[in-house]
Amino acid sequence: MNFFTKHFIRIISCSVTLTVCSNAWAQSVGTGATSTNGSSVNAIPTAVPFLTVSPDSRSGAMGDAGAALSPDVNASYWNPSKLAFLEDNNANISLSYSPWLRHLLPDVNLTYLSFAKKLDDRNAIGASLRYFNLGTIELFDQYQTAQGTYRPNEFSIDGTFARKFGQDFSLGVTLRYIHSSLSNGAFVQGQQINAANAVAADVSVYYKKKTEQFGKDAVFAFGANISNIGTKVGYTDGGQKYFLPTNFKFGVANTLDLDEYNQLTLTLDVNKLLVPTPPLRDSNGKIISGKDDNVSTVSGIFGSMFDAPGGLSEEFQEISFSPAAEYWYNKQFAIRAGYFYENPNKGNRQYLTLGAGLKYDAIVFDFAYLIANQAQSPLANTLRFTLSYKFGGNK
């Protein structure tokens, strides 16, 4: 059994959310270890946490808020139904890149490619590819003899359809294929560690209404998205299966045209994982508080609202918040800021985000920077870059 595989099995059996360091997959950050999405290991465990990493720079600069923001090419991730409200029928394409967890590993990164197009006044489609590269792992056997290297990776492929109903309301659905390759195929205790595959879906709603506020034109919007509703993930034949990071996101946004050149948007997103909270067990494995988390996906989604061992107070701890603001000048230059808060007992991601955007004809460049305490957060100084292009330009 090689060194990587031993750590992989230990972590999978405990929490599924893989942790990283320069030589293996176990690394302490502050008082605990770190999941691949940046949460500490006291977060609710799920498989493939890379699906919860903000992929693009616009929302990445706004505390990971995006459920109710004005639609763009990356809406498939935040709220698929927003695609029905794209400004015109031109095709849009976007490429985002983010070095990730650079305090732990120098070569982990996330790449996101997205596409969107309105088919007519009511219907729109989208597609995206998310690729998470977890760097190069050096493999050793039990005698610390080098066994070569391995490059674990995960990716997902999405297809989205959105339809507008009336002038102010839309629905959207996304279908997703997920692949997680974290092992080199070694055998452990007679079982081969395989790549995992899953399928999932997102369902979403979006509403926007033009109005007047303080004597000026404004738009109020809200959106909701339940993402990653799908099959469980397993890494061994006949072995234990793990939940996808099914998530409920709800957001509101208010955009005010201050004058002909200046526009301000204030937004707030609220998130909760729809995944069972692990119960408290005694030394014999008997549940002493909470509910059994060995349930089906559907039961896990509905039960996640009231299964925390600590009752209602712990359920509220599982909710994260993202308040943010975006300012546009002449629809060509944007400044953004936001904050992401996750309870210390449920992942402890807390950081400020800043960013900017520049639009020139058909090209948009966005940049985001994450500010956090370097001693406490492996996400400190994270950068994101996004380049978008609209075929046909802006008319």
* Residue linked to tokens 């957001």: 251
pTM over 0.85: yes
Contact status, residue 366 vs residue 333, Cβ threshold 8 Å: no
Helices and strands: H and E segment counts in the chain? 5, 24
User: Per the structure block, which two tokens stand in for 42?
Assistant: 């006291």
Conformational region of residue 315, where left means phi above 0, alpha means psi within -120 to 50, and beta covers everything else = alpha
Position 189 scores a pLDDT of 60
* DSSP type of residue 391: T
**DSSP string of 185-210, one letter each residue:** --EETTEE---EEEEEEEEEEEEEEE
C-alpha–C-alpha distance, residues 250 and 228, integer Å: 15
| Residue at 65 is within a domain | yes
Position 21 scores a pLDDT of 33
Nearest to 353 by CA among 386, 392, 326: 326
**Structural domain tally of the chain?**
1
Tell how far CA 348 is from the center of its chain: 16
Instruction: Read off the pLDDT of residues 311-341 as tens digits, 9 standing for 90 and up.
Output: 999 999 999 999 999 999 999 999 999 999 9
Beta-bridged to residue 130, according to DSSP, are 112, 156
| Residue at 395 is within a domain | no
C-alpha–C-alpha distance, residues 79 and 56, integer Å: 13
pLDDT confidence band for 393 (50 / 70 / 90): low
Q: How far is CA 56 from CA 82, 118, 321, 373, in A?
A: 16, 20, 18, 22
| Residue at 289 is within a domain | no
Host domain of residue 214: 3-277+318-390
| Residue at 34 is within a domain | yes
**Who contacts 285 (Cβ-Cβ below 8 Å, separation ≥6)?**
none
| Residue at 380 is within a domain | yes
| Residue at 291 is within a domain | no
**What CA dihedral angle connects 21, 27, 28 and 29, to 10 degrees?**
30
Average pLDDT of the chain, as a whole number: 87
| Residue at 346 is within a domain | yes
Q: What percent of the chain clears pLDDT 70, i.e. is strictly above it?
A: 87
Contact status, residue 277 vs residue 308, Cβ threshold 8 Å: yes
Higher pLDDT, 367 or 9: 367
User: Per the structure block, which two tokens stand in for 128?
Assistant: 């995206």
Contact status, residue 357 vs residue 58, Cβ threshold 8 Å: yes
pLDDT confidence band for 14 (50 / 70 / 90): very low
Higher pLDDT, 274 or 136: 274
Nearest to 67 by CA among 54, 57, 77, 55: 77
What are φ and ψ of residue 20, in 5° steps? -135, 155
β pairing state of 247-257 and 187-188: unpaired
* First CA to last CA distance, the chain: 61
How much is the average pLDDT of 188-208? 87
C-alpha–C-alpha distance, residues 147 and 151, integer Å: 13
260: CATH: 2.40.160.40
Q: What angle do CA 204, 210, 213 make, to 5 degrees?
A: 125
Instruction: Read off the pLDDT of residues 25-34 as tens digits, 9 standing for 90 and up.
Output: 322 223 346 7
Q: What angle do CA 62, 53, 123 make, to 5 degrees?
A: 75
How much is the average pLDDT of 276-299? 89
Instruction: Read off the pLDDT of residues 49-107 as tens digits, 9 standing for 90 and up.
Output: 999 999 999 999 999 999 999 999 999 999 999 999 999 899 999 999 999 988 787 88
Contact status, residue 146 vs residue 140, Cβ threshold 8 Å: yes
Nearest to 101 by CA among 153, 152, 150, 29: 29
Position 186 scores a pLDDT of 64
Q: What angle do CA 379, 384, 388 make, to 5 degrees?
A: 160
| Residue at 310 is within a domain | no
User: Per the structure block, which two tokens stand in for 239?
Assistant: 């072995």
Contact status, residue 118 vs residue 88, Cβ threshold 8 Å: yes
* DSSP type of residue 72: -
